[in-house]
Amino acid sequence: MGSKLTISDIARLAGVSKATVSRVINQKANVDPVTRERVLRIINEKGFVPSITASGLAGGRSRLIGVLSPPFTWPFVPEIMRGVAELMEHTSYEIVLYSINPTRGHSDVLDRIIGMRLTSGLLAILPRKLGKHLSDLRDHGLPIVVIDDQGPPVDLPWVGINNRESAYEATRHLIELGHRRIAHIQGPVDFRCTAERLEGYTQALLETAITPDPGLIFQGDFTTEGGRACAEQIFSLDASERPSAIFSANDHMAYGILVVAEEYGIRVPEDVAIVGFDDMLLSSYMRPALTTIRQPFYDMGKVAIELLMSFVDPQFSFPDDQTYKRAEAALIVQQLLNNREGKEPLHCHLPTRLVVRESCGAAQHISVSG
């Protein structure tokens, strides 16, 4: 019976307006405490479950935040969503998830978002080919924040990392260990980070008077099988031509390198040092454990959703009893907003970390790159 009740029924039973009931449901402060208690008592007695889309009636605004995301099978997505969900738990907004495959693009999904007018804002994770459509949505008035986009640059608020500096640090670490022939396995050619990580690798070599060797740059695809294929090429080289170190543009390709090295009887790190990029969960459990660049996926989610909420509801503030980590996200967002010049898009580069483990043959330590 309770499930059939509407917000109008609760308003009638409590002797208040629908707007007042909506303010109580959405935890607004401008409700008399006695009235709030009466409305909540009736809601509990009747077992009323408010409609998410109806909960924004008082302000004429949806209480939904859309998240456009690659499938959860993509390794970094769960960590980003963990950061998003942790902060959203402390709001009266709900998340609606739109799952897409960024390699194909799904402009029809975006058409439905704007057509149904259900969401107050949209968080887009690795949208790639949908960049132009997202800009169009923004022009229709929908607040949008992008996480780690790898398509052509778009004029939208963006949260990610500095791929060039991070790749520079990874390569520089290998150089400081004494390596001079350092191979690089790239990611897919149509990812912007692929070019940026190659630039960082090249810069580190040139600064040390090492001439980059095109024969030591291999085309991968961010998959373990792609890493295996490149490793087969590398370890098939004559010993005199073989690199003493490999910088892989992501961890999954590095996993493939480790497998092939074992098959060839090549010792890591004694015969070849390996550094990856991402610091996925399995990287610390590989044998040997993988040295890698740690991407702050969890923090990306936190900062991006806080930034989006600042656009969706400028009056909104998270409770003061949140953790220090949440306060860090708030500080980053506030700095972004304060330092904004004119109408330039907000771009936030979060710091990465070089996590040194066994695969490079150095003592363990962590360094930070902003």
pLDDT tens digits, residue range 216-234? 999 999 999 999 999 999 9
pLDDT at residue 29 above 80? no
Pair of tokens at residue 109: 């999904």
Residue 320 pLDDT more than 60? no
Which of the residue ranges 126-140, 152-166, 253-267, 325-339 would you say has the lowest mean pLDDT? 325-339
> What is the pLDDT averaged over residues 181-198?
95
Residue 20 has pLDDT above 60, yes or no: yes
Kindly report the average pLDDT of the chain as a whole number: 84
Q: Which tokens belong to 39?
A: 């409305």
CATH topology of domain 64-156+297-349: Rossmann fold (3.40.50)
- Average pLDDT on 63-74 reads 86
- Which residues sit opposite 219 in a β-bridge? 186
Q: Parse the chain into domains and list their residue ranges.
A: 2-46, 64-156+297-349, 163-296+353-369
Distance CA 274, CA 359 (A): 5
pLDDT at 104: 59
- Does 324 or 309 have the greater pLDDT score? 309
Residue 114's pLDDT band, with cuts at 50, 70 and 90, is low
pLDDT of residue 331: 63
Question: What HEC string does the chain produce?
Answer: CHHHCCHHHHHHHHCCCHHHHHHHHCCCCCCCHHHHHHHHHHHHHHCCCCCCCCCCCCCCCCCEEEEEECCCCCCCHHHHHHHHHHHHCCCCCEEEEEECCCCCCCHHHHHHHHHHCCEEEEEEECCHHHHHHHHHHHHCCCCEEEECCCCCCCCCCEEEECHHHHHHHHHHHHHHCCCCCEEEEECCCCCHHHHHHHHHHHHHHHHCCCCCCHHHEEECCCCHHHHHHHHHHHHCCCCCCCCCEEEECCHHHHHHHHHHHHHCCCCCCCCCEEEEEECCHHHHHCCCCCEEEECCHHHHHHHHHHHHHHHHCCCCCCCCCCCHHHHHHHHHHHHHHHCCCCCCCCEEEECEEEECCHHHCCCCCEEEEC
Model pLDDT, residue 3: 46
343, pLDDT greater than 80: no
Quick one: average pLDDT of 337-360? 80
Confidence grade of residue 202 (pLDDT, cut at 50, 70, 90)? very high
Q: Which residue has the higher pLDDT, 188 or 365?
A: 188
Q: Quick one: what percent of the chain has pLDDT higher than 70?
A: 78
Q: Do domains 64-156+297-349 and 163-296+353-369 have the same CATH topology?
A: yes
> Which pLDDT score is estimated for 1?
39
pLDDT tens per residue across span 89-105: 878 788 888 887 665 55
* pLDDT at position 329: 60
Per-residue pLDDT, 58: 44
Q: In the prediction, which pLDDT does 141 show?
A: 79
- 163-296+353-369 folds as Rossmann fold (3.40.50)
Indicate the range of 31-45, 194-208, 279-293, 342-356 predicted with least confidence. Answer: 342-356
Residue 360's pLDDT band, with cuts at 50, 70 and 90, is very high
Count of beta carbons in the 10 Å neighbourhood of residue 309: 24
Kindly report the CATH number that applies to the domain delimited by 2-46. 1.10.260.40
- Does residue 199 or residue 345 have the better pLDDT? 199
Is the model more confident about 232 or about 334?
Answer: 232
Region 121-133: mean pLDDT is 82
Whether the pLDDT of residue 369 is over 80: the answer is no
pTM reported for the whole predicted model: 0.78
